[in-house]
Structure 1
Amino acid sequence: MAPRSRKPIVNHFNVMVVGFAGVGKTSFVRTLLESLKMTMPQDKRDTMFQPSSNGNGQTLIEGPLERTLVPYTVSIDAEVDGDKMVLTLIDTPGFQSSYLIDKQLNDIIGYIEHQFDLTLAEESKVKRNTKAVDTQVHACLYFVDPSKRDLDEQDIRVLNKLSRRANVIPVIGKADTLTLAQRNRLRPTIIKSIYNSHRIPVYGMPEDDDDEDEAEEAATEATDGTDEKTPDAVDTKPKERATLDDFLEQFHSEDEDDEVLAFVDYLRSIPFSVIACEEDPETGSPLKIQDGDKTIHLGRDYGWGKIDCLSDDVSDFNRLKTMLLVSHRRILISDTLERFYEQYRTERLLQRRATKYKSVVASKQILQDLSTI
């Protein structure tokens, strides 16, 4: 009997876009899908979409651009570097009024945690489903409003909470609204807020050594309750964190492996600045722009000039796309499972144990009370 041929393994990769209203999240999703279409044969383009979980993903992504009012998912079959994958994009409504942000953020985190719950439920089965699909959110793109000069209090709150549950990657949407000088000022300002001022653990951001933390704690304990400073007293002032650029200077391309170099390149690129393509307002299809003898398939025409949104000279779109789908995809998937899912799983199991323990104690107390009646 001839050996049964194995079907190629198809990986699932899920990317969520989050941010305030009007920062270009949906436009980015549509541009990303169009860029993937360009690499597909015509027969695959016609059947590229898979049904959305709520049934309206394809309708929302193909028609005229509209404001996203409800979350939706769009999945397509893609092939990257010879690997077959199912790419699922999760678009979310933009944050609006300040008093609604917490509710909207809780809904987003609830969605992420629900995917963890599905995995946990599958693991708890005696007989697991071998065809179960990985729906965990592997990457969360947080779109920063380009009109801001720095991250504000709301951005910081959202980033801190999201970073506890997912790999968050900062992106500047609608980068064409910024001059080159404005972009060059905004990027280091955002990095300083994330890395130095607020120490937000976005994806790939280096963490402080445990030894340094322990030394600081020991120094604090050694000086507690003492008013006079002895000659050998330890300076308790927290050590100022070096800049991210200073941290990256220690890595040299000839001495590092590919994974380290991929992270160094990523950290030097964030936040990615992206520009979405211009679309026909009636059909939602990308406008083909003629620039001399060249046809720009995904671009923008400003009247005074024309740009290709896939050009590395004007946008980080290709860098972000390559980072997500090629250089960091496997790392993002494993990090989601090994760090975020395992952390959530531990929390849930401890919570269940605590609830069960409280129930047992309460039951014993009730029996004792009944015995005295």
Structure 2
Amino acid sequence: MQKLSHRVNVIPVIGRSDSLTVSELKGFKKRIMEDIQHYDIPVYNFPYDVEEDDEETIQENQELRSLLPFAVMGSEEEIEVDGELVRARVYPWGVAIVDEPDHSDFSRLRSAVLGTHLHDLKSLTEDVLYETYRTEKLSRNTPYSEARESTMLPEDLANQSVRLKEEQLRKEEEKVGLREIELRVQREIHEKRQQLLAKEESLRNLESRLTAQGSDSVIGSPTY
């Protein structure tokens, strides 16, 4: 995992978690996270910024982080539960449903990887992991690069290193800029939504007053 984490986003998962009891699973999760921290393995832990992210995003990431490592199960068998076909495993003691949050973290993991956090995972792969790998490849001492470097002046080597650093900084600045734009758009959408809700409330109040006034005029009208 140490080597793998420098090339791809690593999300720890426990397979066939339905074979463990609730207490066993809890203890197993705890031991895995302790090992990850002890060996300083960089995993994707659903990061968030308290100062920049909204409360909903922070809460969602905290919940996902608390589930690490995700306890998942799979099944190709479909059974009918409450009139609906679901993927599940049937045991003498009961049924373990794949997409049931109380039975497995599969649905939360799928939603995060393929939905809410897909963009962030792709950005980390492209802007951090790939750029780190690319820099390592360019700076690695191979027979060809050693022969080439032997013909390069010290100033040229320094300039090459500076260019690599500048390119990496530019990528990081672009990422920060995109994040700021995303946050600004989210704030604008939130403000527009609040304005629309306020207008709807105002229209409902106006409609209620008009309905009440109409009822009063009918009740108080003279009869001929």
| Distance (Å, rounded) in 1 between the aligned partners of 2:86 and 2:46 | 35
Name 1:186's counterpart in structure 2.
Answer: 28
Confirm whether residue 336 of structure 1 aligns to residue 177 of structure 2. no
Name 2:172's counterpart in structure 1.
Answer: none
Residue 353 of structure 1 and its aligned partner are, at CA, apart by 8.6
Query: What amino acid does structure 1 have at the position aligned with 2:77?
Result: L
Query: What amino acid does structure 2 have at the position aligned with 1:334?
Result: S
Distance 1:169 1:351, change over 3 A: same
Name 1:176's counterpart in structure 2.
Answer: 18
Confirm whether residue 198 of structure 1 aligns to residue 33 of structure 2. no
Question: Per residue, is there more helix in 1 or in 2?
Answer: 2
* Contact in 2 for aligned 1:272/1:317 (Cα 8 Å): yes
Residue 193 of structure 1 and its aligned partner are, at CA, apart by 1.4
Distance 1:355 1:287, change over 3 A: same
Query: What amino acid does structure 2 have at the position aligned with 1:184?
Result: K
| Distance (Å, rounded) in 1 between the aligned partners of 2:99 and 2:2 | 31
| Distance (Å, rounded) in 1 between the aligned partners of 2:22 and 2:44 | 26
Query: What amino acid does structure 1 have at the position aligned with 2:104?
Result: S
Distance 1:173 1:347, change over 3 A: same
Distance 1:296 1:302, change over 3 A: farther
- State the secondary structure of the residue aligned to 1:300: strand
- Whose radius of gyration is greater, 1 or 2? 2
* Contact in 1 for aligned 2:89/2:97 (Cα 8 Å): yes
* Contact in 1 for aligned 2:9/2:125 (Cα 8 Å): yes
* Contact in 1 for aligned 2:18/2:96 (Cα 8 Å): no
Distance 1:337 1:259, change over 3 A: farther
Name 2:62's counterpart in structure 1.
Answer: 264
| Distance (Å, rounded) in 1 between the aligned partners of 2:149 and 2:134 | 23
Match of 2:79 among 279, 289, 293: 289
| Distance (Å, rounded) in 2 between the aligned partners of 1:259 and 1:358 | 51
| Distance (Å, rounded) in 2 between the aligned partners of 1:318 and 1:301 | 19
Name 1:116's counterpart in structure 2.
Answer: none
Give the TM-score of the pair, scaled to structure 1: 0.36
Name 1:161's counterpart in structure 2.
Answer: 3
Confirm whether residue 276 of structure 1 aligns to residue 64 of structure 2. no
* Contact in 2 for aligned 1:296/1:308 (Cα 8 Å): no
Instruction: Show CA shifts across 1:139-159 (max 9, x none).
Output: xxxxxxxxxxxxxxxxxxxx1
Name 2:102's counterpart in structure 1.
Answer: 313
| Distance (Å, rounded) in 1 between the aligned partners of 2:89 and 2:149 | 65
Aligned residues: 150
| Distance (Å, rounded) in 1 between the aligned partners of 2:46 and 2:80 | 41
Query: What amino acid does structure 1 have at the position aligned with 2:92?
Result: G
Aligned CA RMSD, in angstroms, stands at 2.9
| Distance (Å, rounded) in 2 between the aligned partners of 1:198 and 1:301 | 38
Instruction: Show CA shifts across 1:20-49 (max 9, x none).
Output: xxxxxxxxxxxxxxxxxxxxxxxxxxxxxx
Residue 164 of structure 1 and its aligned partner are, at CA, apart by 1.1
| Distance (Å, rounded) in 1 between the aligned partners of 2:44 and 2:33 | 12
Distance 1:258 1:290, change over 3 A: closer
* Contact in 1 for aligned 2:46/2:61 (Cα 8 Å): no
Question: Per residue, is there more strand in 1 or in 2?
Answer: 1
Distance 1:353 1:257, change over 3 A: farther
Query: What amino acid does structure 2 have at the position aligned with 1:268?
Result: S
* Contact in 2 for aligned 1:171/1:273 (Cα 8 Å): yes
Residue 269 of structure 1 and its aligned partner are, at CA, apart by 1.3
| Distance (Å, rounded) in 2 between the aligned partners of 1:265 and 1:170 | 15
| Distance (Å, rounded) in 1 between the aligned partners of 2:124 and 2:148 | 35
- State the secondary structure of the residue aligned to 1:313: coil
| Distance (Å, rounded) in 1 between the aligned partners of 2:67 and 2:86 | 25
**Which ranges of structure 2 fall in alignment gaps of 5 or more residues?**
152-224
* Contact in 1 for aligned 2:46/2:64 (Cα 8 Å): no
Instruction: Show CA shifts across 1:207-258 (max 9, x none).
Output: xxxxxxxxxxxxxxxxxxxxxxxxxxxxxxxxxxxxxxxxx9x969xx8455
